[in-house]
């Protein structure tokens, strides 16, 4: 089903720099979702031992810190990344819960 221009605009709307879409479109082509980009930047599910969220952050425990790509996390929309030992907090803002839930659907 074709979407109207307004529907495409609303689906891809950015509010204060935060993507509000599950599937992003660039130059008319579907690209990886924000959740998938974050998961990849964390080294995939094979690298994660736990994933939780709070109001503004996604919290993860991981096996190998060399697989954490902080630049890719920022490119995916993270405002900040804090890594301590085998734990990381990714500051995503108020949509952290939605993103974490979408990451969980990618298992």
Residues recognised as catalytic: 54
- What single DSSP character describes residue 94? T
For 28, phi then psi, to 5°, come to 80, 0
Q: Measured at the alpha carbon of residue 48, what is the angle toward residues 91 and 81, in degrees to the nearest 5?
A: 20
> Is the separation of the CB atoms in 94 and 58 below 8 Å?
no
């Amino acid at each position: 089903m074709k979407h109207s221009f307004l529907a495409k605009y609303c689906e891809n709307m950015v509010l204060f720099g935060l993507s509000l879409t599950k599937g992003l479109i660039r130059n008319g082509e579907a690209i990886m979702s924000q959740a998938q980009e974050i998961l990849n930047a964390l080294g995939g599910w094979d690298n994660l031992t736990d994933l939780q969220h709070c109001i503004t952050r996604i919290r993860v425990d991981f096996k190998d810190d060399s697989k954490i790509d902080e630049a890719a996390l920022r490119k995916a929309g993270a405002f900040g990344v804090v890594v301590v030992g085998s734990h990381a907090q990714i500051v995503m803002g108020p949509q952290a819960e939605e993103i974490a839930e979408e990451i969980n659907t990618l298992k």
